[in-house]
Chains A and B, each alone.
Chain A
């Protein structure tokens, strides 16, 4: 049963043009934004909304390192843009309908939440024309005792309404076998700050978990460890999962009204090319400590996006975003083999928002459908990028340490029943296409997470020989053989998975998978009493490691 807590004290009263809407936080946007639609076909001197997100620095850089029009890549492309930070998404939507700006800036979850409003009029249908980034800067914090996503069942989760985390929470719940119907959502008005935010609701005990930006997550968990209860942290709180692991879940875009797009398609293509060039430049200088451009832009973002925080916070904000640039956009919008492509993500997000009661039916947002080969002017690097790099040796070491210290179980786990032949790692891989597809989807969704592939062997032979009084040396030999067999099985499954990915054109990062084998130390049935149980002991288990090993193994680009 779904229960959405709507604090009466939090009431939105929006006066929008001639219409006034009174609604509660968490109501569908269609009930909140009721302003009229105006035609929109003006020129290339426009307002453009930004949100307080590192990737939005790309637009600022393209605009001459300024919120107001200055000489830069955008002016060269014929654009005079006045930028402003608009974190209140309902206001953005109202501006969009009224053509104060033809642009809408948000995560896919935010854009989808606006769909019932924007798609109701052909003029305001969204054309999603640029993907900024994936997020590596959001997370879900949880109270003591909540160790894995499945523990959220029956709990209260604070989420900002219309914000970037609704679909993130939906994705995490779905992969834990849950839905919004299994939790109670506590809607918050703001994302961060001193007001009605998920972090504050969590700290005040009004929620058992909260979807927050990572700076807030670190604050309530005493620096990303376990909250001590001191200095504003919440005693016992931990980061349950973050977009450092679920790297391909929260995506940021710019959309434009259909009527404006139809009138300015070529100009918008030039705008996109300018943003690609700005991203390429910014990615370069933001990686160079001491670079004056980095210092200037970090200061600007700290001032304009974060309300005057020190410049280093601007750097951190940039690092929380994994920008896409040309290659990421080309892949996301135009590569049918990309498991996290726009259309796939759209379906996922729509399902999440429906579950949260924010939309009534799934909308399909349109993409600009660029010919990306025509948008390469001025770019020097068109190489495909991996979202995350792993150090396999460090990852293996981390997995080893987690296993030895008994911490490996507190993660997303998928039992993959493989019918191995006894005493061999052989199995009919062609029967497992559906399972492989599921695992590849998880791998691409949690592209920053290590996935362990853990082989198992059946203990019956060992137990039988032990019962028959076999010598110690024989039993030790059997144990060693089962240990090695279990690793061979894990390797065989990853090999087959890689082959499947190759045959189906799906990208897979082999380094993300760490093979492991536990021999006969944790059989599903001990001893097996039927042939079916015996077979089921010969298995492989996939575990998506969350919030544990990333510090030493994950290197977002």
Chain B
């Protein structure tokens, strides 16, 4: 990304955070407001993602149908008994994926519990890998989102950014640093093609991880709807009908 783009993103992020904090401070409850200005998509930055990373095994024939997913699992102390429900949701989500897709799991406190691999390789060891993850520690959701993005960047460098990229956050939403979380969400949705989806545990409709039009959301007891929430968009209309306004320079 160019310096100008970086600056635009940074300024957009700062304004967004300022707006968010200002609005949030007037909120009647503890949930985040969905009226945060999330800024505009930087299409040039999205097209240039990931930055030119030299990786040794660039794919000559990447699979455009493949989906790359980094799951961020909230294993913080606030999750408590909900963690087991979150683990079950993660397992269910992975089982819904195509066997050739790639997935990894990053826990907020336990770290990278499952490096990105094919779903086929991950499924047999997923339960045993998640079993020792306990609810403890803080909730660094922002840094985890950033790290998940970096993992996906490496995957994208290998696949020349073809395919679909997702971060699925399984959390109760209580971030240590809400501002950092917002900045990371904004950077992700404005400067990369990565979709952000949340499997939420008691998250209100005004949380940044449940911001309609920016991120996708399903409740933890309704993970079956995740596929629907993340359905691929139509690329081209089936029929032509001109939009004359474009020709007039609008």
A-side interface residues toward B, CB under 8 Å?
A: 392-397, 400-401, 404-405, 422-423, 457-458, 460-461, 463-464, 467, 471-485, 487-488, 491, 511, 514-517, 519, 521, 527-531, 534-535, 538
Secondary structure at the A interface, as helix, strand, loop or mixed, is helix
CB distance from B142 to the nearest CB of A (A): 20
Q: Which residues of A contact B14 (CB under 8 A)?
A: none
Contact B243 A422, beta carbon cutoff 8 Å: no
B234's partner among A400, A423, A517, A528 (CB-CB below 8 A) is A423
Identify which of B62, B160, B193, B233 gathers the most chain A CB atoms within 10 Å of its CB. B233
CB distance from B98 to the nearest CB of A (A): 14
Q: Which residues of A contact B236 (CB under 8 A)?
A: 422-423, 457-458, 460-461, 482, 485, 538
What are 28 A-B interface contacts by the 8 Å CB criterion? A393-B60, A394-B58, A396-B58, A397-B54, A400-B58, A401-B52, A422-B238, A423-B234, A457-B235, A460-B243, A461-B237, A467-B246, A472-B38, A472-B41, A472-B214, A473-B213, A476-B195, A478-B234, A479-B43, A479-B46, A480-B193, A480-B233, A481-B233, A484-B162, A484-B164, A484-B235, A529-B246, A529-B247
Contact B59 A393, beta carbon cutoff 8 Å: yes
B-side interface residues toward A, CB under 8 Å?
A: 38, 40-41, 43, 46-48, 52, 54, 57-62, 64-65, 160-164, 189-190, 193, 195, 212-216, 232-240, 242-247
Contact B237 A485, beta carbon cutoff 8 Å: no
Q: Which residues of A contact B57 (CB under 8 A)?
A: 393
Q: Which residues of A contact B213 (CB under 8 A)?
A: 471-474
Contact A460 B41, beta carbon cutoff 8 Å: no
Identify which of B161, B236, B243 gathers the most chain A CB atoms within 10 Å of its CB. B236
Residues A473 and B214 in contact in the complex (CB < 8 Å), given A479-B193, A482-B235, A487-B64: yes
Bound complex: CA of A423 vs CA of B232, how far in Å?
A: 12
Q: Which residues of A contact B62 (CB under 8 A)?
A: 487
Q: Which residues of A contact B234 (CB under 8 A)?
A: 423, 461, 478, 481
Bound complex: CA of A4 vs CA of B151, how far in Å?
A: 61
Contact B60 A514, beta carbon cutoff 8 Å: yes
Q: Which residues of A contact B232 (CB under 8 A)?
A: 477, 480-481
Q: Which residues of B contact A473 (CB under 8 A)?
A: 189, 195, 213-216
- Nearest-CB residue, chain B, relative to A534: B240
Contact A484 B163, beta carbon cutoff 8 Å: yes
Bound complex: CA of A461 vs CA of B243, how far in Å?
A: 10
Contact A422 B237, beta carbon cutoff 8 Å: yes
Contact B46 A476, beta carbon cutoff 8 Å: yes
Residues A517 and B162 in contact in the complex (CB < 8 Å), given A404-B52, A481-B232, A485-B236: yes
- Nearest-CB residue, chain B, relative to A537: B236
Contact B242 A423, beta carbon cutoff 8 Å: no
Bound complex: CA of A483 vs CA of B159, how far in Å?
A: 13
Q: Which residues of A contact B65 (CB under 8 A)?
A: 484, 488
A471's partner among B59, B161, B212 (CB-CB below 8 A) is B212
Bound complex: CA of A481 vs CA of B163, how far in Å?
A: 9
Contact B61 A491, beta carbon cutoff 8 Å: yes
Contact B189 A467, beta carbon cutoff 8 Å: no
Bound complex: CA of A457 vs CA of B162, how far in Å?
A: 14
Identify which of A395, A473, A530 gathers the most chain B CB atoms within 10 Å of its CB. A473
CB distance from A484 to the nearest CB of B (A): 4
Contact B195 A477, beta carbon cutoff 8 Å: yes
- Nearest-CB residue, chain A, relative to B237: A461
Q: Which residues of B contact A516 (CB under 8 A)?
A: 160
CB distance from A232 to the nearest CB of B (A): 34
CB distance from B209 to the nearest CB of A (A): 13
Residues A464 and B195 in contact in the complex (CB < 8 Å), given A422-B236, A476-B189, A487-B62: no
Identify which of B160, B244, B245 gathers the most chain A CB atoms within 10 Å of its CB. B160
Identify which of A401, A474, A515 gathers the most chain B CB atoms within 10 Å of its CB. A515
- Nearest-CB residue, chain B, relative to A526: B246
A397's partner among B48, B58, B193, B216 (CB-CB below 8 A) is B58
Bound complex: CA of A463 vs CA of B62, how far in Å?
A: 27
Contact A467 B243, beta carbon cutoff 8 Å: yes
Q: Which residues of B contact A393 (CB under 8 A)?
A: 57-60
CB distance from B238 to the nearest CB of A (A): 5
CB distance from A397 to the nearest CB of B (A): 4
CB distance from A529 to the nearest CB of B (A): 5
Q: Which residues of B contact A535 (CB under 8 A)?
A: 240
Bound complex: CA of A156 vs CA of B162, how far in Å?
A: 44
Bound complex: CA of A509 vs CA of B243, how far in Å?
A: 43
| New A-B contacts (18) at CB < 8 Å, excluding given A464-B237, A481-B233, A488-B65 | A392-B61, A400-B58, A422-B239, A457-B236, A467-B243, A471-B214, A472-B40, A472-B214, A474-B213, A476-B41, A478-B233, A479-B43, A483-B162, A485-B64, A519-B47, A527-B242, A528-B242, A538-B236
- Nearest-CB residue, chain B, relative to A470: B213
B64's partner among A405, A488, A511 (CB-CB below 8 A) is A488
CB distance from A404 to the nearest CB of B (A): 5
CB distance from A145 to the nearest CB of B (A): 27
A461's partner among B60, B216, B235, B242 (CB-CB below 8 A) is B235
CB distance from A25 to the nearest CB of B (A): 47
CB distance from A426 to the nearest CB of B (A): 12
- Nearest-CB residue, chain A, relative to B215: A473
Contact A483 B161, beta carbon cutoff 8 Å: yes
Residues A423 and B238 in contact in the complex (CB < 8 Å), given A484-B64, A514-B60: yes
Contact B195 A460, beta carbon cutoff 8 Å: no
Bound complex: CA of A394 vs CA of B58, how far in Å?
A: 7
Contact B160 A531, beta carbon cutoff 8 Å: no
- Nearest-CB residue, chain B, relative to A487: B64
CB distance from A438 to the nearest CB of B (A): 23
